[in-house]
């Protein structure tokens, strides 16, 4: 009996994500994904081209899911400070909605998935989520301080990257309500201090 053709790419991406998170990135092979999904090797190569492309698309889907959750959280906030707090807490909300994608995007290092030798188009696609995050930080910085210079972006990087990583991720506390309260308190403290003044934005 012929093996089924692929009709839903998400089934394949789900299988690759599951293998990468539960068994390690090295276990994600075309053969392993074919065995997990029932899709033929040929159909997988036709759809994805290579193992690296399959991994790239799996990681990018996880990144896009995270950014969508974060954007939704920010969009529901009533003011700029609440928006930053919502963006900072996005990893915890993401973990509730997409636990495996959370593990892949926030815990597995890109170098463990792809190495350093990537085609330029794949590297650009992998870098796109980072650029989107920077754009979000610029928007938030303008709302908070009417500026989006490197110092302002650095302050928001502390809020949206450094503190969530230290408080939630490195300590494995994504589902810990106290950790989320601590994160909010830390972010509020950083926002209270704000970025360093510039010539055009002196200390008030």
Question: Tell me, what's the pLDDT at 121?
Answer: 84
Question: Tell me, what's the pLDDT at 184?
Answer: 98
Question: Tell me, what's the pLDDT at 122?
Answer: 84
**What is this structure's pTM?**
0.89
Question: Tell me, what's the pLDDT at 36?
Answer: 95
Each of the 204 residues of the chain gets a pLDDT tens digit; together they read 344 455 689 999 999 999 999 999 999 999 999 999 999 999 999 999 889 899 999 999 999 999 999 999 999 999 999 999 999 999 999 999 999 999 999 988 877 887 777 788 888 888 999 999 999 999 999 999 999 999 999 999 999 999 999 999 998 999 999 999 999 999 999 999 999 987 665 544
Three-state secondary structure along the chain? CCCCCCCCHHHHHHHHHHHHHHHCHHHCCHHHHHHHHCCCHHHHHHHHCCHHHHHHHHHHHHHHHHHHHHHHHHHCCCCHHHHHHHHHCHHHHHHHHCHHHHHHHHHCCHHHHHCCCCCHHHHHHHHHHHHHHHHHHHHHHHHHHCCCCHHHHHHHHHHHHHHHHHHHHCCCCCCCHHHHHHHHHHHHHHHHHCCCCCCCCCCC
Question: Tell me, what's the pLDDT at 5?
Answer: 53
Question: Tell me, what's the pLDDT at 68?
Answer: 97
Question: Tell me, what's the pLDDT at 3?
Answer: 46
């Amino acid at each position: 009996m012929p093996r089924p053709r692929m009709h839903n790419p998400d089934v394949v991406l789900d299988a690759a994500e599951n293998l990468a998170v539960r068994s390690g990135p090295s276990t994600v092979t075309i053969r392993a994904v074919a065995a997990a999904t029932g899709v033929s090797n040929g159909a997988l190569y036709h759809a994805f081209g290579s193992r690296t492309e399959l991994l790239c698309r799996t990681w990018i889907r996880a990144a896009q899911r995270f950014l969508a959750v974060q954007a939704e959280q920010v969009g529901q906030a009533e003011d700029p400070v609440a928006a930053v707090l919502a963006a900072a807490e996005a990893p915890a909300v993401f973990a509730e909605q997409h636990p495996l994608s959370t593990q892949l995007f926030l815990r597995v290092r890109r170098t463990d998935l792809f190495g350093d030798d990537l085609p330029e188009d794949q590297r650009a696609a992998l870098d796109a989520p980072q650029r989107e995050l920077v754009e979000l930080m610029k928007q938030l910085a303008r709302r908070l301080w009417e500026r989006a210079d490197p110092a302002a972006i650095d302050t928001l990087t502390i809020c949206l990257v450094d503190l969530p990583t230290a408080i939630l991720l490195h300590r494995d506390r994504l589902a810990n309500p106290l950790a989320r309260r601590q994160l909010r308190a830390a972010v509020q403290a950083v926002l209270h201090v704000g970025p360093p003044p510039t010539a055009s934005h002196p200390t008030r």
